[in-house]
């Protein structure tokens, strides 16, 4: 799939004035899985609104575990900065695979370790797929479907799009990792920065365009955020704002691979540019 606008969850609202002191100290982060276009954000926003209407929590916000932004850490950070002292993290998507079940508490604990100066508690809710209420919802959807018409009723004409039948010319093809571990290291924000820089330089169109494809995990998660630039086969790791800016200017525009940011395939572990051995 080609890259498209990545979903970005709602910002944290101000609390309603009538909440009790206990409620003012509690916040909720609903976790979604991202995807293409605005639909994942709209879905997550609807769930956020539903929780807000309960009136039990001062702050309710969202984050994406992959293929979107903000990251879990960013959402936790923003609630903590609002003065929230107990945060309920709720995986509001299905399915939640085994690696995510293992990895999610690790990510939260890592964030807490970084914030050892605070007394924030973070609680992980049961995954949505494990909850009995999901069975009720599915049964209701099946019953509702009994009343719906055949899919051919009032269907728009399917014209097809000829642009999907060609491979546009391009100079560089980027594989940009939006897997779970890179997403938690704010790859969504970095991708936005990359696209903005390329747009300003008019490098996202024309025969010499840079094509960006968002991917799932590219494997060396400990070196994330990761991006690969073809045809050069340059693996860029531990990306940050400075690396993105320089890669755009020196590699994508200037044609020079920046060895200081690369981690080419090899049998041995790399050191990240910040010196941390992984
Ligand atoms: S999630 Fe990006 S390399 Fe694994």
Pocket test for ligand 1, best of 72, 103, 177 (most atoms within 8 A of CB): 177
Decide: residue 278, CB within 10 A, 0-12 exposed, 13-18 middle, 19+ buried: middle
Residue 237 alpha carbon to ligand 1 centre in Å: 10
Paired residues of 14 in beta bridges: none
Q: Is the pLDDT of residue 14 over 70?
A: no
175 three-class SS: strand
| Residue ID of nearest Cα to ligand 1 atom 3 | 221
pLDDT in tens, 153-194: 998 887 778 888 999 999 999 999 999 999 999 999 999 999
Residue 204 alpha carbon to ligand 1 centre in Å: 24
Confidence of residue 13 (pLDDT cuts 50, 70, 90): low
Average pLDDT over residues 235-242: 96
Task: Indicate if 40 and 91 belong to the same structural domain.
Answer: yes
Task: Indicate if 228 and 187 belong to the same structural domain.
Answer: yes
In a domain, 277, yes or no: no
In a domain, 6, yes or no: no
Q: How far apart are CA 76 and CA 74, in angstroms?
A: 5
In a domain, 207, yes or no: yes
In a domain, 151, yes or no: no
Confidence of residue 23 (pLDDT cuts 50, 70, 90): low
Task: Indicate if 113 and 211 belong to the same structural domain.
Answer: no
In a domain, 190, yes or no: yes
In a domain, 209, yes or no: yes
Average pLDDT over residues 89-115: 92
Number of domains in the chain: 2
Task: Indicate if 136 and 173 belong to the same structural domain.
Answer: no
In a domain, 274, yes or no: no
SS3 labels along 113-158: HHCCCCCCEEEECCCHHHCHHHHHHHHHHHHHHCCCCCCCCCCCCC
Task: Indicate if 49 and 87 belong to the same structural domain.
Answer: yes
Mean pLDDT, rounded, of the chain: 89
Angle between helices 72-81 and 98-114 (to 10 degrees): 40
Confidence of residue 201 (pLDDT cuts 50, 70, 90): very high
In a domain, 3, yes or no: no
Of 126, 142, 158, the one marking the end of a domain is: 142
Pocket test for ligand 1, best of 219, 228, 237, 265 (most atoms within 8 A of CB): 219
pLDDT, position 162: 84
Pocket test for ligand 1, best of 226, 227, 237, 265 (most atoms within 8 A of CB): 226
90: CATH: 3.40.50.1400
Task: Indicate if 25 and 113 belong to the same structural domain.
Answer: yes
Ligand 1: residues with CB < 6 A are 177, 179-182, 217-221, 224, 226
Task: Indicate if 40 and 137 belong to the same structural domain.
Answer: yes
pLDDT, position 2: 47
For 42, other C-beta atoms within 10 Å of its C-beta total 10
Q: Which atom of ligand 1 is nearest to the CA of 225?
A: 2
Q: 199 versus 222: which is more confidently predicted?
A: 199
Enclosing domain of residue 128: 21-142
Q: 55 versus 90: which is more confidently predicted?
A: 90
Task: Indicate if 123 and 174 belong to the same structural domain.
Answer: no
């Amino acid at each position: 799939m080609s890259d498209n606008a990545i979903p970005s969850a709602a910002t944290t609202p101000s609390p309603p004035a009538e909440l009790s002191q206990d409620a003012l100290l509690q916040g909720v982060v609903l976790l979604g899985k991202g995807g293409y276009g605005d639909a994942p954000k709209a879905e997550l926003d609807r769930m956020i609104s539903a929780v807000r209407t309960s009136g039990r929590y001062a702050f309710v916000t969202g984050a994406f575990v992959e293929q979107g932004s903000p990251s879990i850490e960013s959402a936790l950070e923003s609630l903590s900065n609002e003065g929230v002292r107990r945060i309920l993290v709720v995986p509001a998507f299905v399915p939640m695979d085994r690696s995510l079940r293992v990895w999610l508490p690790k990510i939260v604990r890592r964030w807490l370790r970084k914030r050892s100066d605070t007394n924030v508690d973070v609680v992980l809710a049961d995954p949505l797929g494990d909850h009995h209420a999901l069975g009720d919802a599915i049964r209701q959807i099946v019953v509702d479907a009994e009343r719906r018409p055949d899919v051919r009723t009032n269907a728009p004409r399917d014209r097809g799009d000829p642009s999907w039948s060609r491979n546009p010319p391009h100079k560089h093809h980027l594989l940009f990792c939006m897997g779970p571990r890179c997403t938690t290291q704010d790859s969504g924000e970095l991708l936005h920065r990359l696209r903005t820089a390329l747009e300003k330089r008019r490098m996202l169109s024309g025969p010499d365009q840079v094509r960006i494809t968002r991917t799932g995990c590219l494997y060396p998660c400990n070196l994330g955020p990761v991006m690969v630039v073809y045809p050069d086969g340059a693996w860029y790791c531990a990306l940050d704002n400075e690396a993105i800016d320089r890669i755009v200017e020196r590699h994508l525009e200037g044609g020079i691979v920046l060895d200081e940011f690369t981690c080419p395939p090899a049998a041995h572990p790399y050191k990240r540019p910040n010196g941390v051995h992984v």
